[in-house]
Structure 1
Amino acid sequence: MASIFRPAAGCLRASLEQLPASRTILRQPNPRLCRHLHATTKAMASRRGPVGPPKTKDRGPASKEDTQTDFAAMNVLGNTPAPTTAIDACAHDGFALNSGLKIAGSGVMLVGGDAFNWKPWIREGRKEGTIGEGAMGDDDKGVSSVGGTLRNKKGQWEVAEHSWGLLDAVWPKPDLLILGTGPSIVPVSPETRKHISDLGIRLEVADTRNAASQFNLLATERGVQQVAAALIPIGWKEGTQ
């Protein structure tokens, strides 16, 4: 009778816990830790397009077509006549207008297609031609000595309200007033700005040369009824009498 061999329970448990030394455990790679290597060669990359700037700027022979763009013909205001009150020249003590009118010894206010002598430096209570604070004299200095006071103690451009009497009376009022403050641009005082704003007029400030250029352009484009100008001569000298 054959005998049946039964291993002890301890030996069976030990044999189940032991793993072969040559056994290898395979793991799936983590896609986040993978490195992607591009195998594209330089020759293949060069086929996609130029790597650097072009070697030449030659665009071929000049075009002989008659359809080339004439930028001078694109000026939409080229056939629009300039207003008669357009400023042709800014003189030392006055202005020359497109109508042939010349103004000397005075500023100019251009409103509604008309030109007016404008001397805001003459203060209230003084007569034109007298020597005094903010006036031009008619003695040995002559009217060519353009000078006076147009700035307040803070250095801001400020004139009396009666200097804008023409704008108070005119109707309809212009939409925009271009103010030329003389040879250089000067900040306008809040009081003067408020007075012009209360008239329903917007204010644009520049030196007289640039103000004249802006008036010529805007008056041609929008009309003299919409745009007005008040210009001080470019020879203005602050504080001289």
Structure 2
Amino acid sequence: MNVLGAAPPPATEIASTLPFGFTLTNSVIVEGSGCMLICGEAFHWRPWVREGRKEGTIGAGGRGEDLMKGKLRNERGAWECDKGNWGLLDLVWPKPDLLILGTGPTMVPVSAATRRHISDLGIRLEVLDTRNAVAQFNLLATERGVREVAAALVPMGWKDSQ
């Protein structure tokens, strides 16, 4: 017996992972960035962008540094990004109960500072490689609803700069 058989899938479910992005079930392609899924909405998410980095086009005063490169690991090898990258979680209400973090092609432990920040928001954190994080999000968003579960996903093709 399939109790979820008649339940419609969430509109922002991930249909497939791409080397440098994602395809959503509503046929939207998120390419060249990560993806944050909160409350049934999908957002471009680039946690590798650091404060003070010159983003955007050269004509607009940037240096064209909008490529998928940067560092997401700290000196101890733990996954870490600036608090500003979690700004959307600061704003949303009600907060999701669980955030599923996809760290790219491999599962990487999350730094204590990042874990503490998410916990201080009242959100539990589950860390997986992106492929498994997508599967987990799709399942839990269908079971529990998109308001209870959020996802922050780094593309499968992500490689930390040295």
TM-score (norm 2): 0.93
**Cα deviation per residue 1:49-77 (whole Å; 9 max; x = unaligned)?**
xxxxxxxxxxxxxxxxxxxxxxxxx1111
| Correspondence 1:152 to 2:79 | no
Secondary structure at the aligned position of 1:124 is classed as: coil
Name the structure 2 match of 1:4. none
Going from structure 1 to structure 2, the CA distance change for 1:226 and 1:76 (only over 3 Å counts) comes to: same
Among 177, 189, 193, the residue aligned to 2:115: 193
Name the structure 2 match of 1:184. 106
Name the structure 1 match of 2:134. 212
Name the structure 1 match of 2:4. 77
Name the structure 2 match of 1:64. none
Equivalent pair of 2:71/2:160 in contact (CA under 8 Å): yes
How far off its partner does 1:136 sit?
Answer: 7.6
Name the structure 1 match of 2:45. 118
In 1, Cα distance between equivalents of 2:56 and 2:135 = 30
Structure 1 unmatched ranges of 5 or more: 1-73
In 2, Cα distance between equivalents of 1:137 and 1:79 = 45
Structure 2 unmatched ranges of 5 or more: 58-62
Name the structure 2 match of 1:94. 21
In 2, Cα distance between equivalents of 1:206 and 1:164 = 18
Name the structure 2 match of 1:229. 151
| Correspondence 1:137 to 2:59 | no
Going from structure 1 to structure 2, the CA distance change for 1:172 and 1:90 (only over 3 Å counts) comes to: same
Q: Which letter maps to 2:100?
A: I
In 2, Cα distance between equivalents of 1:118 and 1:155 = 21
Percent identity of equivalent pairs: 64
Q: Which letter maps to 1:147?
A: K
Secondary structure at the aligned position of 1:163 is classed as: helix
How far off its partner does 1:129 sit?
Answer: 4.0
**Cα deviation per residue 1:7-26 (whole Å; 9 max; x = unaligned)?**
xxxxxxxxxxxxxxxxxxxx
In 2, Cα distance between equivalents of 1:213 and 1:183 = 14
Larger-Rg structure: 1
In 2, Cα distance between equivalents of 1:226 and 1:128 = 33
Higher relative contact order (CA 8 A, sep 6+): 2
Name the structure 2 match of 1:49. none
**Cα deviation per residue 1:3-45 (whole Å; 9 max; x = unaligned)?**
xxxxxxxxxxxxxxxxxxxxxxxxxxxxxxxxxxxxxxxxxxx
How many pairs align?
Answer: 157
Equivalent pair of 2:53/2:65 in contact (CA under 8 Å): no
Root-mean-square deviation (Å): 1.6
